[in-house]
Amino acid sequence: MILNLTPHPIRLYAAEREDGIDDLEPHLREVIEPEATPARLATIELGGGMWPELVEFGHAQDLPPKRDGVHYVVSLVVALALADRRGDLLVPYREVRNSSGTVIGCRTLAQPV
């Protein structure tokens, strides 16, 4: 099972889907709708108004615990922050772009290591 913990639908396209096409349908394999609450990377401000501000990153918010047979699609920053601790996190990979260069989906999912 794959759950989408990003704030937007994940459109998975076949590998042969070309970039530069505005129609969303050609070679669309699956759409993974987002769950109600996305996982985010929390920040902790350490600097108290100093310049530059000291900020600690790496604490995920709203990320469920590991469950057997479940993978979570998250943002790349969340996955990279937890790559050494969570083997169940996936990210969109090999983006698909429309004629304006806007990312409209991906060709596969990847597990950052």
pLDDT tens, position by position, 22-33: 998 899 999 999
Other Cβ atoms less than 10 A from the Cβ of 73: the count is 24
Contacts of 55 (CB under 8 A, 6+ apart): 43, 44, 45, 46, 47
Structure tokens given for 12: 């998975």
Q: Please list the rounded mean pLDDT of every run of 10 residues in the chain (113 residues).
A: 97 96 93 97 83 85 96 96 94 97 97 94
Radius of gyration of the chain (CA): 16
pTM of the model: 0.88
